[in-house]
Chains A and B, each alone.
Chain A
Amino acid sequence: TQTVSQSDAHVTVFEGDSVELRCNYSYGGSIYLSWYIQHHGHGLQFLLKYYSGNPVVQGVNGFEAEFSKSDSSFHLRKASVHWSDSAVYFCAVSPITGNTGKLIFGLGTTLQVQP
């Protein structure tokens, strides 16, 4: 069974603060990890991805994520948030086997950035 766990349903920070959104996964095979952002009333937008190599990957708008095999985690970070970063963030895994491209999403973390 493949699962994606995002332990924090809501995170509130102030503009300029750093933030970490947590993602843990459970899957027995090779996977592709990614983060997506969803602004209210819109579809999801791709932020970044990891499959192999350097465990720290850079994404758009100053976001980065770090993969840890030992912790089965792929946490998303940003050093200094802006009010426009307020949105719902989804972590997703995609099994490599079968080359399906299917995404299995977590429940999401709502990030609220206060001025």
Chain B
Amino acid sequence: EAGVTQSPRYAVLQEGQAVSFWCDPISGHDTLYWYQQPRDQGPQLLVYFRDEAVIDNSQLPSDRFSAVRPKGTNSTLKIQSAKQGDTATYLCASSRLGVYEQYFGPGTRLTVL
């Protein structure tokens, strides 16, 4: 079974630029999570989906961040106007409903200059 894939693996931006991250979860996994992991910290949940529906986006900075999962499979996380404080690794994970084990992708390492 293929794992969770993410692209790009790295991104370097100037403040104010936009960037999109893409995630392809494990086939059959109905739940998809996006985490932000600042350097030397644990992952912090930004948003998660069950199929195409957003279940919780309370930690997503809504003025600049957006996330979609239109067909309940792949997902895109977008930062509209990046700030230096957004520098972090962005991790995507997927799981099956009721299974408390998540499978993580390799992450996208974002640096905002």
Contacts and interface: CB of A to CB of B under 8 A. Distances in A.
B60 interface: no
B37 to A, nearest CB: 9
Contacts of B102: 44, 46, 101, 103
Among A4, A36, A44, A104, find the residue whose CB has the most chain B CB atoms closer than 10 A: A44
Contacts of A69: none
A107 B44 CA distance: 10
B42 A101 contact: no
A92 B101 CA distance: 11
B56 A102 contact: yes
Contacts of B98: 99, 101
B95 A44 contact: no
Interface string B71-98: 0000000000000000000010101011
Contacts of A51: 100
Contact of A34 (B4, B42, B97, B101): B101
B105 A106 contact: no
A61 interface: no
Size class of the contact patch on chain A: 20 to 34
Contacts of A34: 100-101
A25 interface: no
Interface string A56-81: 00000000000000000000000000
A103 B35 CA distance: 10
A89 B100 CA distance: 18
Interface string B1-25: 0001000000000000000000000
B45 interface: yes
Given A101-B99, A103-B33, A107-B40, 10 more contacts: A36-B104, A43-B4, A43-B91, A44-B91, A44-B102, A46-B102, A94-B100, A102-B33, A102-B48, A108-B40
Interface of B: 4, 31, 33, 40-45, 48, 55-56, 91, 93, 95, 97-107
Interface of A: 4, 32, 34, 36, 41-46, 49, 51, 90, 92, 94, 99-108
